[in-house]
Amino acid sequence: MYYFYIALFYLLLPFWSIFHYVRGLKKKDYHARWKEFLGFYAKNHAQQVIWLHAASVGEVEAANALINYFHDNSVYPVLVTTSTEPGYQRVLALQGNRVEHVYMPLDMPDVMSRFFNHFQPRLVLIMETEIWPVLFTKCANKSIPLFIVNARLSETSAKGYRKLRFFLQKVFAGISGVIVQTEVDALRYRDIGLNAEKISVSGNIKLDMIIPASINEQAAQIKHNLFPGRLIFIVGSTHQGEEGLFLSAYQRLKQQFPSLLLILVPRQPKRAHEISSLCLADKLSVVRRTESKPCAESTDVFLVDTIGELKQMYAVAECSFVAGSMVPIGGHNIFEPILLDVPVLFGPYMKNSELLAQQLLDAKGAVQCFNVEDIVNNVALVLSQPQVKNQLVSAGRVFVEQNKGALGRTVEVINRLCGTRTNPDINLTDTTRL
């Protein structure tokens, strides 16, 4: 199975190379760096690194607290890899030049060998769900500690992986540990072949996210400059098939709240033209973020076609909806709005954080909507009833406070199982420093 996996990668490599080369022609920076996927580098980088892989934007956001911790406390430099250009842009926005960045190498023996020779990693951390057999085998052969952190596994993914259980048992044999978000994730990892002794439950690192004071300051300035006097309903991280639902809901809400403005933040800003066309088809006036102009009283939709401004946009709103949950994507980070004291709604498809989402609902810290009618009714309730808004925000905050601490528990497990060399003045298990 292992050699079949490798052969398949080599078979598909020519098609992958053509696809990435053509895609990179539209983005000069990406095009200049596409060879990094093959383990070729145009410059020298730091060696003996702590390597953290975060596939794209969402994983980078979740990993940021962990990146900060190791940057501040480790004797080794930090390398962050991503699989996507938006992921790299988010690393750049959050970390600047504090960490090294390259694109994740393809999971092929010769590519991984070049990567390992170039960076000589001392510790490898993979965010959330990715399983790479060649990478895992390489770490085992070189006795490099490897952890999957903030790990989660949906029932759908687990069902598919169970068919490969015999293969995955061997893949998992050499890793140091998997630090999962919930007991449910722990059970699923055991079901697909991971030794129970290698599993630790930490909670979700996203609850340890720190919102800088500058975010609220930037939000206040944005609202003053772009949305003066407007009541704002924001929908974050939308996917294809969702925008039409929220445009329909907005048109109904507008009748009750004449000053209402809908902010749409697509998960992929490149879809901005498609979304603008949907707005115009519904005879709705739309302003894009890249137009750098304020909304008029007649503006219906403000479309955020940039990367890295979602927090600021959440912070200007009276009510938020976290998308990717009205279509079977699995939902996105429902805790960002809560940490910004904005009530949060989400849809029925929450497999990416199903247990936490249900626990938050049980704590009355969020509202789940199943259709346009639900969206209209619940947004109207939040906008018209200050006590409802305040209760949601308060309950959400209490839930976060009661469930955070995953960062400290994650660092403690890593330190205990592999003895990561860090600044001798720092005790990794002292979570008061986190």
Please check whether residue 298 is in contact with residue 336, taking contact to mean a CB–CB distance below 8 angstroms.
Answer: no
- In angstroms, what CA-CA distances link 221 with 1, 284, 294, 327, 354? 56, 25, 12, 33, 35
> Rounded to an integer, what distance in angstroms lies between the CA atom of residue 175 and that of residue 173?
6
Q: CA angle, 39 as apex, 33 and 41 as ends, to 5°?
A: 50
- Catalytic residue numbers, as ranges: 59
The one-letter code for the residue type at 318 is E
The rounded distance, in Å, linking the Cα atoms of 206 and 17 is: 34
Tell me, letter by letter, the H, E, C secondary structure of the chain: CHHHHHHHHHHHHHHHHHHHHHHHCCCHHHHHHHHHHHCCCCCCCCCCCEEEECCCHHHHHHHHHHHHHHHHHECCCEEEEECCHHHHHHHHHHHCCCCEEEECCCCCHHHHHHHHHHHCCCEEEEECCCCCHHHHHHHHHCCCCEEEEEECCCHHHHHHHHCCHHHHHHHHCCCCEEEECCHHHHHHHHHCCCCHHHEEECCCHHHHCCCCHHHHHHHHHHHHHHCCCCEEEEEEEECCCCHHHHHHHHHHHHHHCCCEEEEEEECCHHHHHHHHHHHHHCCCCEEEHHHCCCCCCCCCEEECCCCCCHHHHHHCCCEEEECCCCCCCCCCCCHHHHHCCCCEEECCCCHHHHHHHHHHHHCCCCEECCCHHHHHHHHHHHHHCHHHHHHHHHHHHHHHHHHCCHHHHHHHHHHHHHCCCECCCCCCCCHHHC
- Burial readout 121-131 (b: 16 or more C-beta within 10 A, e: otherwise): bbbbbbbbbbb
